[in-house]
Amino acid sequence: MADSQKSATLTFGDTTVELPILSPTAGPDVLDIRKLYAQGGVFTYDPGFTSTASCDSTITFIDGNKGELLHRGYPIDQLAEKSHFLEVCYLLLYGELPTADQLEDFESRVTNHTMLHEQMQNFFRGFRRDAHPMAIMVGVVGAMSAFYHDSTDISDPWQREVASIRLIAKMPTIAAMAYKYSIGQPFVYPRNDLDYASNFLRMCFSVPAEEYQVNPILARAMDRIFTLHADHEQNASTSTVRLASSSGANPFACIAAGIACLWGPAHGGANQACLEMLREIGTPDRIPEFIARAKDKNDPFRLMGFGHRVYKNFDPRARVMKQSADEVLELLGIEDNPTLQVAKELERVALEDPYFAEKKLYPNVDFYSGIILDAMGFPTSMFTPIFALARTVGWISQWKEQISDPQLKIGRPRQLYCGATMRDYVDVENR
């Protein structure tokens, strides 16, 4: 917790309250209002908690005005360029970049936990054949607590560690099995000789009838997608995980809650919405029409994949994702794919249009990740499950941090009540 060296005075009516001001290592100062109700008898009102710090954290920092995203102090573009997903997982979980021996040990532990309990296949088969992969993931991840009893005691640091490794290791297997089930293909088991991203691609796209070779360019692009989505500070799904964990819920239930929140189209469905928009545009010659509609304040149409709620500048993840998108499209070719042709032309037009530069509506990470996943052959229904797979390590890191916090209290937001005041019950015959 940051030390309080300053304070602010709040006066309302005849009441005056001194509020400590906490100064973080980065970002704006924070008014400490924990004793506001006890001393002043009032609450604060902040729908969406957009001006409220719900916790103190050392994991991720975002400066939206500068277009800055740091994991434990390291810029996301450096991590995406020079590191890889499992190394970033270690960084998020433990606070520092690993030594070579530490990384080898960590990768070995993750690799050796990728298989699911065989009986869990019965859960997949209990869903309708056309069930959405996110529905399956919510159910299966929550059900893990029924199979892994030795890692549900949150008061035991070792069990918290085992649960963390299990979730990171098994999430690609769960996501791939959800995908295979939704398309009616047999499950593919993980292989210990493949890296994290390659293993996931193989479990998604290989079939027993023939050998599948993972293309290293696609594996690298997949790894970057995982890295760029690993954590994003106190967003809706992360806050959901923290709120669930504040009650003492087991880690599998907390992560299932995070997946459920991420499923919402306002959160995890942005890249799917972007791809659907590209398909709505249809052909490059219709782009001017849709650009004009995007500029028209009276038209409900909005360009998806441009700009970001947090970043008021360029999304720092987008530069790296664009590089991967270019590599993937060059490898696979886009001549016969009208959606990708529209994407490339829309990107060019938007970057050259002064209107978008003035409004800082640059292509964001969702624009490029949707293009990459579509080019790889993933249906839009798998976009959010892949997001959930990548974000799992962020959720777990935030969960572990909160569980270890000596100030941990169960979450209990207040409200501005606007309903009826107390009134007497009226018997039904008198209504």
Domains of the chain: 7-53 (2.20.28.60), 75-394 (1.10.580.10)
Q: What are the residues whose beta carbons fall under 8 Å from the beta carbon of 328, sequence distance 6 or more?
A: 217, 218, 221, 372, 375, 376
Instruction: Given the residues 71, 223, 308, 315, select the one marked as catalytic.
Output: 308
Catalytic, 308? Answer yes
**What's the pLDDT at 336?**
67
Buried-exposed string 343-353: b where 16+ CB fall within 10 A, e elsewhere: bbebbeebeee
Average pLDDT over residues 134-141: 96
Buried-exposed string 40-53: b where 16+ CB fall within 10 A, e elsewhere: beeeeeeeeeeeeb
Please provide the DSSP assignment of 161-228 as one string.
Answer: HHHHHHHHHHHHHHHHHHHHHHTT-------TTS-HHHHHHHHHH-BTTB-----HHHHHHHHHHHHH
Catalytic, 101? Answer no
Instruction: Given the residues 195, 231, 315, 366, select the one marked as catalytic.
Output: 366
pTM of the model: 0.91
Average pLDDT over residues 24-39: 91
Cα distance between residue 178 and residue 187, in whole Å = 9
Do 397 and 96 meet the contact criterion of CB atoms below 8 Å apart?
A: no
| pLDDT tens digit sequence for 368-421 | 888 889 889 999 999 999 999 999 999 999 999 999 998 889 999 999 999 999
Q: SS3 for 134?
A: helix
**What's the pLDDT at 335?**
61
Q: Is the pLDDT of residue 194 over 80?
A: yes
Buried-exposed string 322-339: b where 16+ CB fall within 10 A, e elsewhere: bbbbebbbeebebeebeb
Average pLDDT over residues 222-236: 94
